[in-house]
Each structure stands twice: as structure tokens, then as C-alpha cells.
Structure 1
């Protein structure tokens, strides 16, 4: 068995949902995208030490399929991109690569929610405000530089091996976008996928610390007591006492932070859009696309070329 394709992301752009749809094609075998452990193997990045036997085990249930692949967004990060490319080139130089991107501001908001939802498991306590998070967690912005990130792959793999998708297109017309993806992979593009409304790992499901939990973690008297509790006890309390709550309100963007983010990602996003056949107004890349009240105004999107 070999790896025929990889979905490197980008992170928080719908990779999990895309892989779940691809897995419904009868010719495609992907490790269970509904399983929290199997959905992102990350083998060619930070799990390489586990060895090939553990990796191939993930494909036990789909070994008879014609094509095999997986999706791991860590592959497209600045930290692991280079080593992933080298390992793929060594073992699977003919592999096909599928990237999926979305509006940079939407990706950053999703990343912000994700850090609040799962960061505590890895000892990360993200700031309560997105402007503070962006300045203290620089990888949030680095992983939004789509054009810069994809160059790591383009330096070794030909453009004919790379397909770029856009989450906005996939949500608007999933049947057409999936057919194009199947054609790129070389499987029957006429297969109809029933579950095109799959939305896995969505932002609506993410949780953040309540005010009570924030107090327990930050107060100089309460914090030592909280930290001394066994992890299982803390998790039980967070669940039973509702100390972790879903995001209920839109994320607030200070105008100055929006302008600063545009300075950081604007040119990169425009190059990415232009190279992959999208108009520069496909995403919100100028301040005039935001209202003074802080609500997002989406531009009218044109159909993909």
C-alpha cells in the first residue's frame, strides 16, 4: 500500500469536513475522519517516531480501497512544512496534495476559538481578546500566510500535483467542488456524495473558560488549589459545573487590530488568490469591507474560474 494523496490543510479551513466527504467515495480510503485520534495522523510531522507499522494500522479498515490518503493540517504549518515535504518526497514523490483555504479573518477567528477550546490540554492559556492573542501567539498569523506556506510544497512538487480549494466554494456548491476534487485524484467524478452538509470540528462547538474558571486559574490563592487537583478531577468539574462554555457572541475586532492584520496578510492573500484564479475581492482584504459597528460585511463573491 502507498499514500496517493495528502490533505495538508490549511488549519481551521474545513480540512476535517473535506476528508469526511472524500472518505464517502467508494474508491478512496481515509482513516476515520470522525475519530478524534485517527482524523489527523500527523505522521510525516510530529508522529514520525511512532514508525510505519503504527501508521499503516490506521488504514486497516480501508486497505482494500483503490486510493489511500489522509489529512493533517500540521503538515502545512511553518514548524513542520519543510520536514513533511522532505519525507513525502523520499517515500511518495508522486503524491497529490489538496489544500483548502478560507477568508483569513474567518480562519483567525476559528483558530482563536480552537485555542480556547483545546489549548488548556497542552498548557496553553490564550488571552481573552483576539488582539492580545494575535500578538502573543504569532503562529496564528504565520499559519494564515497561505501563499508563503504553500511555497514550501511548490519548491519540491509540481503545480500539477497540487490542488487548491476554497471553503467558501465548498459550502456554496459542494457537489461541483467534490467532483473537481475527485477528478484531480483520478477517481470517478460522477459519484454523488450524500453527506455534503458535513460540518465537523465547527466553531459553534468550541468552548472557552467561564469567568469562574478564569478566576480559579488566575487568582493567586485559588490557582494553587486548582492546579493541585488531579487532571481527571478538573475535567470532571469543568464538565459537571459548566466551567467551560460555548462562545455565545461574535468575536470583537478592534479597528486597529483589523488594520494591523491586513498589513500582515493582505499581500500574501492577494498573491494566493490571483495565482489560484480568484478575484482580489473574494475575501475581505480592505478595511472598507467592515462596518464601524464591528460587524463583518461579506463581499459579493464571483463564481470560481
Structure 2
């Protein structure tokens, strides 16, 4: 098998000791950058290899997966990646079993967010990409992904069939935003690195939906195509740069006027709360008695 990173060897590359499994639109990109900024942590340049998803890169094999990670020395104590497709049951089934078969001791990080806010952000991204054309009030209940990806306890259940509870840390997007240093100390300690190191990047928010939604859907669609067609980090970055650069030269720009913010009507919010109330109640067992349930349960 050809080494996609071009050095012809797997020497010094380690499989993950931790995985950030989601949730989508809950702050995983920011958390990925905060993790990668720690000097004792190594992550791939492209955050989401999606190896354990059968419909994505599972067929490429474990050697391919290993090559997605950088060569590391003894100073690196934790290696990991962030693929939110790992918490998209039932659309992608069997992921926890595949992870357990190859990484039985891996630490699992799961960041969750107020489901209404997550659904709104998810909808805004899909609308910006052009993959969602229905109004939010219709789309949320017509396409099961909006609610399913917000059933956090359901996603956790899939992992607890294969992993002991102590290998899973659940945090909220809200705590990551409001109490970032304290939350990251918990995360760093959980994955086995110095919890007192505070990278400068902790002051920055990464990849806000409001920023992405202002872009034209053309480059968004190109990024999605290039990512799945050329999963190697280096090849993907080269093609992304060259393709989007050509697009800029032809069109003169790749930005579109900012889209108005999407609001969630009260009746839609109430219906989402009813749909997810039981799941949120079960989630309390993972987040503790202080968890406010986002006003849902």
C-alpha cells in the first residue's frame, strides 16, 4: 500500500489514545484545536479521518489510518482525532464495535450542546451548502438526522455496549465556552497530559456556523467532495488550495452576502423539547445533578 504522506514508513506513528467522537455542531473544531495546541498531544492536520465509518474510510485499512497521524517522539503522551461521524447512530452503524476491536483502551471525548441550538446550527450549515432547501420548521421533523444527532444519550448507549464508563468523558459546549480553562483542564487530565498547560489558542473560537454560512455553497461543496475523494491530509490540502484558488481567479470572489440568522419558532422549539425530553433526562446521569437540561428536561 502506498504511503499517502510520502515518507514510505509508519515508523514513529501511533494509533489514537483518544477520540473526539462529536457531537456535530457542538464545538468539536474548537476542542480539536485546543487539544492539538497542547505540546504533549498529537493530532492529524485534517481533523476527521472518519476511519471507523464503513461508508467512509473503513475500507482503506488500519495501516492507512495509522499514516494519518504525525510521527511523534516520547514527549507526546496522547494521540487523537476528531470525527463527529462517530456519533451519528443510526445513520452510521457499528462504529463503536470497530473502534473497540482496534482501540480497546482508547479514551472517548463527547461534547454536547443545547439540542435546539445544535439543530439550528446544523440546519444553517446544510442550507448554506445547498443540501437543505425546506424551511427549518419542516426540515427538522422530515429528516431524522437533526433529532438523531441530538439524541446524545442514545449515542452514548452505543459506546457503553463496548467500553467501560470510565473511558468516556462527556462535557457541554456551554461549559467549553463559559469556563474554558477549567473544562480543558478536565479534558487534558482525562487524556493523560499536563492539565495545567493553557495554550494561547484557548482565547479563540474556531469555525463558527455564522461565519461559514456567509460563504458561497460552491466552495463548501468542493471541500466536501475533495475531502471524501482524497482523504490523505496532504493531497486534500493541495487540491483544496489549488481548486479554490482557481475558483477565485475565475469568479473574482468566493463569498456570498451574509445570510440572515435562522430563528427557531416557539412551537418548533416546544416540539423538539418533547421529542428529546427522555434522552436529555438520561443524559443527566452522565453530566451530574448540576446539569440544567437546557430547559428541556
Identify the TM-score tier after normalising by the shorter chain: 0.7 to 0.9
Retained in 1: the 8 A contact 2:120–2:263? no
Spell out, residue by residue over 1:185-217, the C-alpha distance to the aligned partner (whole angstroms, 9 max, x if none): 11111212211133222112122799xxxxxxx
Matched, 1:74 2:82: no
Q: 2:133 aligns with which of 127, 130, 139?
A: 127
1:143 and 1:149 map into 2 onto residues whose CA distance is 8
Shift, 1:79, TM fit: 3.6
Indicate how the Cα distance of structure 1 residues 280 and 59 shifts in structure 2: closer, same or farther if over 3 A, else same: closer
Higher relative contact order (CA 8 A, sep 6+): 2
Which consecutive aligned stretches of 4+ in structure 1 deviate over 4 angstroms post-superposition? 61-64, 235-243
Shift, 1:109, TM fit: 0.9
SS of residue paired to 2:202? coil
2:275 and 2:214 map into 1 onto residues whose CA distance is 27
Q: 1:17 aligns with which of 30, 35, 38?
A: 30
Shift, 1:154, TM fit: 0.9
Query: What is the match of residue 161 of structure 1?
Result: 167
1:16 and 1:238 map into 2 onto residues whose CA distance is 30
Query: What is the match of residue 158 of structure 2?
Result: 152
Matched, 1:51 2:64: no
Query: What is the match of residue 203 of structure 2?
Result: 197
Shift, 1:6, TM fit: 0.5
SS of residue paired to 2:166? helix
TM-score (norm 2): 0.77
Indicate how the Cα distance of structure 1 residues 176 and 209 shifts in structure 2: closer, same or farther if over 3 A, else same: closer
Query: What is the match of residue 123 of structure 2?
Result: 112
Retained in 2: the 8 A contact 1:13–1:101? yes
Spell out, residue by residue over 1:275-302, the C-alpha distance to the aligned partner (whole angstroms, 9 max, x if none): 321445341317xxxxxxxxxxxxxxxx
Query: What is the match of residue 111 of structure 2?
Result: 100
Query: What is the match of residue 50 of structure 2?
Result: 42
Instruction: Pick the structure with greater CA Rg.
Output: 1
Alignment of 1:189-268 (within 5 A): 189-207=195-213, 240=252, 244-249=256-261, 251-268=262-279
1:202 and 1:73 map into 2 onto residues whose CA distance is 16
Contiguous gaps of at least 5 residues in structure 2: 1-13, 217-242
1:23 and 1:241 map into 2 onto residues whose CA distance is 31
Count of residue correspondences? 254
Retained in 1: the 8 A contact 2:281–2:293? no
TM-score (norm 1): 0.75
1:173 and 1:96 map into 2 onto residues whose CA distance is 22
Retained in 1: the 8 A contact 2:51–2:58? yes
Which deviates the most, 261-270 or 151-160? 261-270
Indicate how the Cα distance of structure 1 residues 152 and 280 shifts in structure 2: closer, same or farther if over 3 A, else same: same
Retained in 2: the 8 A contact 1:113–1:206? no
SS of residue paired to 2:150? coil
RMSD: 2.7
